[in-house]
Amino acid sequence: MKTIKRWFGAIGAYFTTGQAARQAQAAMELIGEVRPYIIRAADLAVTLSPSPGDDTAWAAIKAKHPRLLTAQHRTADEVKADALLIATELILAQYPLLSTTVARLAAQQSYLDWRESQ
């Protein structure tokens, strides 16, 4: 019971201290800057063999997530989730001081922004 109370306390503190708002603001400031990583991640997610320029990034991502993109029959949502994971990893490689939360939110918002512009 103490663990559950501590867990809910941590969640509450995340929102009441302003940390959530700061992270959301940081992600929003990166939307335009991370667009190329969204496009590159989409290319990696749908291409069977990455280009030579992507080999280093792809090797690092596959080392961290070995089961990524291995299923034979994947739904569009699974491919999209894999692409967002790839984009997050590419963003973290470029901006190592970002938290995973901010990088993931920036990737998601940049994707949504791109999709609305199409």
What DSSP element (H or E) covers 70?
none
In a domain, 77, yes or no: yes
Q: Provide the number of structural domains found in the chain.
A: 1
1-15 per-position pLDDT tens digit: 677 767 766 666 666
List pLDDT tens digits, range 17-73. 777 778 778 788 888 889 988 888 887 777 755 666 667 777 777 787 777 777 666
Asked, for residue 3, whether it belongs to a domain, the answer is: no
The per-residue pLDDT for 11 is 67
The answer to whether position 108 is within a domain reads yes
Structural domain boundaries enclosing 76: 23-117
Residues 55-70 have pLDDT tens digits of 777 777 778 777 777 7
Q: What is the mean pLDDT of residues 75-89?
A: 84
Confidence band of 107 (pLDDT split at 50, 70, 90): very high
Per the domain annotation, does 15 fall within a domain? no
Global confidence as pTM: 0.71
CB contact burial 37-72 (16+ within 10 A = b; e otherwise): bbebbbebbeeeebeeebeebbeebeeeeeebbeee
Q: Is residue 18 part of a domain?
A: no
Q: Is residue 91 part of a domain?
A: yes
pLDDT score of 91: 92
Taking the C-alpha atoms of residue 5 and residue 24, their distance in angstroms, rounded to an integer, is 25
The answer to whether residue 4 is domain-embedded is no
Distance, CA of 106 to CA of 29 (rounded, Å)? 8
